[in-house]
């Protein structure tokens, strides 16, 4: 039986539950465990309900899981919100018996079979340590003693995170850890079975958060210009990049708005360098006109959209998968765009590199749809082989002066069989060209004749005609032990973070004997119609779970294929949990809903 434990810290924004979760994640990784974190907090800097959850296992973890075994409730709100999730055997560590703002209903807890330990986190922080802000470290001291979490890693984290605040802050936090440890030693009799294992052989992994993985991917892909306007939850992509690409002759620019950011990316890419921006929903809305320019002028550009709850300001820190329409078809006119989406932190890294490869190859904007939950999620991923990745990077076909090409023969927008023509860059190429948003002829001069318009429109669309066939690696098939020609009970198509959650649900169902065919497309647009029709043909029911109201990918499927999927939508600002998808599949298979028969 695999070790699989989830510890949740919940309290008020400003009480340090995020740091408590991060420190615990590091401790688990130090022990050699796999980790997946889930964090959620309000848009306010202080106040409101915040949580940080760490799932750890000695086996590969696919999702944040269904719930938790251990809850640290820092205040009454955290207790109330999580009360419905307290199951028999769950451990509740609460801020009491004195100094906190609540007391749990002991009779109810007992009846439920919940194990409750009182640790006066607030009181010890205030009275014994003398600093309320160290409440989270009192909790971690208690956690270390109760659940065998290595205290040395907590101490290292205190030094690494708080040294910049002064040695006295570090010392206070050490004292807070001790206060938590001593309280448990002197007051609590452990009756739960949860203990982290002893240290296992170290794995060759690096710990990355979602946005950090995007930044690293961009740097490895050779991104030299990053321009963005700060917006939650995308801002940290630029923060991380500024630490990396400045050292590699790169350039990070905080623009005055998203329109300007996108214009900078287009300008930089026109000049011959790889360029990227990162934003969230409202920023994508503002960039639409410029994304159209990148399509029309055939300029490679990578646009990261860290989706959040919309429309408008919506829910800036919350999960949503509802920018697919905006990413794929949000602009006016018929433009070429590629939309891809990662399903976990590791793919945030590898697919960012892929986004640059696609942009360079097809000379168009590539929209990278990640999301708020994934932006903050931490995973330990196998250390990438940077040299090997870089040896396979795709770079645009550029005509340079040393190629001795007759300038009179060069046509930037030459009509070719693939639609793709060699590119030019100022100073590097033997000839300049005008990259314009106006319709143009092969030589780039503005033209509006019906003949030119028709030929150029067809040329641009030809570039993406075979994108599905040319990028099979962007389609992840998961057929389990289905034999050739064997019918599945159900087919499932899932994208983005929902795909990794779906995978866990499907693993559980296969153990129960269900036959399931699944497709996790990373390429969302142009819609991979052949793969979708194939997976749907393997069963009588096709399910598409998505964290949006309208079922945006399911509707694209209806638009571009003959498949009529069953939609399963949530829109509550939180991702699915595997149990929901598991239950939905069981319900559909049980009812034998034959939708696309
Ligand atoms: N000793 C000293 N300092 C401590 C500490 C301790 N024991 N524990 C935490 N802190 C500090 C942290 O270092 C952090 O300060 P920093 O930002 O200077 O590093 C601060 O206290 C908050 O602690 P942290 O653990 O990071 O978060 P939290 O659980 O208290 O939650 C947030 C705070 C994350 C919810 C909040 O700050 C936030 O960012 N909200 C979202 C804002 C946003 O993006 N809005 C959208 C606008 S559109």
| 108 alpha carbon – ligand 1 mean position (Å) | 33
- Residue of 244, 266, 265 lying closest to 253 (CA atoms): 265
Residue nearest to ligand 1 atom 40, measured at CA: 45
**What is the structure's pLDDT at 597?**
45
Q: Ligand 1 in contact with 40 (CB < 6 A)?
A: no
Q: Ligand 1 in contact with 13 (CB < 6 A)?
A: yes
| 202 alpha carbon – ligand 1 mean position (Å) | 30
Q: Ligand 1 in contact with 18 (CB < 6 A)?
A: yes
- Residue of 315, 296, 344 lying closest to 476 (CA atoms): 344
Q: Which ligand 1 atom sits closest to the C-alpha of 161?
A: 13
Residue in this structure with the two tokens 């465990």, named with its chain if needed: 33
Reading the block at residue 244, the tokens are: 């990396």
**What is the structure's pLDDT at 248?**
87
Q: Ligand 1 in contact with 14 (CB < 6 A)?
A: yes
Q: Are 519 and 482 spatial neighbours (Cβ–Cβ below 8 Å)?
A: no
**What is the structure's pLDDT at 594?**
54
What whole-number distance in Å separates Cα of residue 549 and Cα of residue 362? 32
**What is the structure's pLDDT at 336?**
97
- Residue of 502, 454, 449, 489 lying closest to 586 (CA atoms): 489
| 66 alpha carbon – ligand 1 mean position (Å) | 26
| 4 alpha carbon – ligand 1 mean position (Å) | 28
**C-alpha dist (Å) from residue 305 to 80, 282, 409:** 34, 10, 39
Q: Ligand 1 in contact with 173 (CB < 6 A)?
A: yes
Rg (CA), the chain: 26
Q: Ligand 1 in contact with 314 (CB < 6 A)?
A: no
Give the containing element (helix H, strand E) for 255: none
- Residue of 464, 435, 429, 286 lying closest to 277 (CA atoms): 286
Q: Ligand 1 in contact with 45 (CB < 6 A)?
A: yes
**What is the structure's pLDDT at 45?**
83
**C-alpha dist (Å) from residue 159 to 173, 262, 484:** 9, 39, 56
What whole-number distance in Å separates Cα of residue 463 and Cα of residue 441? 17
What whole-number distance in Å separates Cα of residue 146 and Cα of residue 95? 15
Strand partners, 382: 205
pLDDT along the chain (597 residues), means of 10: 93 96 96 94 89 96 96 98 97 97 96 98 98 98 98 97 97 98 98 95 90 98 98 98 92 98 98 98 98 98 98 96 98 97 98 98 98 96 96 97 94 97 96 93 96 98 98 98 95 98 97 97 98 97 98 98 98 97 97 58
Reading the block at residue 522, the tokens are: 């990373």
Other C-beta atoms closer than 10 Å to the C-beta of 331 total 21
Q: Ligand 1 in contact with 94 (CB < 6 A)?
A: no
Peptide bond into 225 cis (omega under 30): no
């Amino acid at each position: 039986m695999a070790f699989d434990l989830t510890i949740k810290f919940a309290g008020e924004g400003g009480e340090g539950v995020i740091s408590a979760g991060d420190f615990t994640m590091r401790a688990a990784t130090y022990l050699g465990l796999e980790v997946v974190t889930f964090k959620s907090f309000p848009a306010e800097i202080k106040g409101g309900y915040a949580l940080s959850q760490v799932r750890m296992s000695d086996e590969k973890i696919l999702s944040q899981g269904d719930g938790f075994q251990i809850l640290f409730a820092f205040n009454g709100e955290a207790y109330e919100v999580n009360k419905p999730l307290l199951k028999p055997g769950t451990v509740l560590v609460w801020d009491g018996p004195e100094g906190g703002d609540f007391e749990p209903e002991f009779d109810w807890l007992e009846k439920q079979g919940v194990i409750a330990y009182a640790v006066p986190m607030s009181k010890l922080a205030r009275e014994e340590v003398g600093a309320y802000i160290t409440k989270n470290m009192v909790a971690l001291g208690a956690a270390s003693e109760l659940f065998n979490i290595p205290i040395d890693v907590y101490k290292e984290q205190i030094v690494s995170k708080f040294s910049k605040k002064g040695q006295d802050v570090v010392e206070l936090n050490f004292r807070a850890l001790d206060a938590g440890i001593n309280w448990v030693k002197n007051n609590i009799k452990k009756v739960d079975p949860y203990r982290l294992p002893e240290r296992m052989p170290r794995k060759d992994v690096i710990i990355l958060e979602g946005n950090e993985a995007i930044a690293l991917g961009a740097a490895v892909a050779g991104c030299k210009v990053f321009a963005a306007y700060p917006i939650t939850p995308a801002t940290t992509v630029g923060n991380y990049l500024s630490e990396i690409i400045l050292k590699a002759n790169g350039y990070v620019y905080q623009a005055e708005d998203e329109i300007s950011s996108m214009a900078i990316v287009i300008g930089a890419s026109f000049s011959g360098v790889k360029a990227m921006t990162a934003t969230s929903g409202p920023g994508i809305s503002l960039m639409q006109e410029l994304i159209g320019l990148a399509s029309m002028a055939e300029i490679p550009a990578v646009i990261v959209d860290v989706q959040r709850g919309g429309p408008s300001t919506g829910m800036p820190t919350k999960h949503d998968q509802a920018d697919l329409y905006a990413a794929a078809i949000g602009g006016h006119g018929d433009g070429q765009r590629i939309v891809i989406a990662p399903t976990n932190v590791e793919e945030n890294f590898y697919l960012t590199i892929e986004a640059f490869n696609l942009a360079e190859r097809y000379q168009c904007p590539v929209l990278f749809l990640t999301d708020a939950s994934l932006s903050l999620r931490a995973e330990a991923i196998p250390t990438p082989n940077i040299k090997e990745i870089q040896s396979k990077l795709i770079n645009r076909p550029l005509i340079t002066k040393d190629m001795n090409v007759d300038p009179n023969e060069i046509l930037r927008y030459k009509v070719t069989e693939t639609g793709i023509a060699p590119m030019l860059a100022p100073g590097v190429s033997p000839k300049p060209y005008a990259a314009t948003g106006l319709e143009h002829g092969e030589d780039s001069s503005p033209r509006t004749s019906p003949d030119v318009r028709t030929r150029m429109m067809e040329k641009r669309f030809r570039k993406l005609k075979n994108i599905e066939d040319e990028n099979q690696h962007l389609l992840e098939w998961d057929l389990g032990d289905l034999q050739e020609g064997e019918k599945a009970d159900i087919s499932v198509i899932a994208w983005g973070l929902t795909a990794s959650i779906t995978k866990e649900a499907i693993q559980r169902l296969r153990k129960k004997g269900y036959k399931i065919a699944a497709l996790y497309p990373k390429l969302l647009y142009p819609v991979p119609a052949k793969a979708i029709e194939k997976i749907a043909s393997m069963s009588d029911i096709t399910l598409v779970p998505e964290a949006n109201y309208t079922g945006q990918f399911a509707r694209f499927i209806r638009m571009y294929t003959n498949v009529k999927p069953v939609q399963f939508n949530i829109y509550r600002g939180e991702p699915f949990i595997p149990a929901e998808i598991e239950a939905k599949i069981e319900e559909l298979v049980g009812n034998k809903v034959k939708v696309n028969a």
